[in-house]
Amino acid sequence: MDNAEIIEVKQADVLQALNRAEIDIQIATAKQYPRDINAVLNKIATYATMDRETAEDCFYVLRREDKQGNVNVIEGLSVRMAEIIAGAWGNLRVQARIIGNDGRQITAQAICHDLETNFAVSKEVKRSIVTKKGYTFSEDMQVVTGNAACSIALRNAVLTVIPKAVTKRIINDVKQVALGQSIDLEQSRQNVIQYFAKLGVKQDQLFLYLGVKSAQEIDKQKIFELRATANAIKEGTTTVEECFVKPALEAKKEAQAEAKGKDAKSRAEAAIAQATGAAPVPANVDPETGEIKPEQAQASENGQKKSNSKK
């Protein structure tokens, strides 16, 4: 017993060894069963174009205004599309988790590791958990915000690892299915308007966002854009207030400022006209040339006017 050796096992070392062994087994399996690119593309196309609703969920669209006032349309693949691509791509190790919460922001981290190429990417996404008035979200809303941040971080990691050149060739096909061949365009318009109305978006806010003046100008492409914007809102990439409420308020302020400027200008012009036209033209001044008339000519002109009045 005196020669007995005490072996101390650290839990962190054990977990690290198990994790390394797990990854090594996954890499060995991936090398043994490599992916078939053609089969992968066919599988992505099959999943994404299974029906129009699924195809619509594969994209997001945002409109952002730059410092010069130009509106830029940002379009990308949604979280749903990233999940479809990752599932069809295979031999991936993907995970997402919350790594920070300082009471004002939640930080999510996602890692995507291609086991065949041994290419790994880590992405972080931050989301605010404070209201406009400075109050912290409730626990339930913090959980919802954290889940949205994890989903966005996972999408960014997956779409970074998987080459865009591979998926680019099928994106247009998916978009065509998302656009659809709707028989009743008017019904599609009403459906999307009603959907955003439930989110608190008024029609004039919707028209301002799209840059149209009436519902008849909302064509098939703009319906696709609105549905893609709805995906971005559901994922937490943007909010209703950021897309619709703030631009409407800014446009209202600009219109009021412009109206005040026009009103001030019209008042100034009226004041000038009144000031210049208030004083009558003297009798001895020619109204056309502004020249002062001689006294004799003025007297004869006055006599002529009197004789004409007597007649």
For the chain, give every domain's residue range: 15-180, 183-278
77 CB-near residues (< 8 Å, 6+ apart): 58, 59, 60, 85, 155, 159, 167, 171
Mean local confidence (pLDDT), 28-43: 88
> What predicted TM-score, i.e. pTM, was given to this entire model?
0.63
pLDDT of residue 91: 92
Whether the pLDDT of residue 186 is over 80: the answer is: no
pLDDT of residue 182: 47
- Lowest mean pLDDT segment, chosen from 114-123, 235-244, 247-256, 290-299: 290-299
Per-residue pLDDT tens for 276-290?
Answer: 555 555 566 565 565
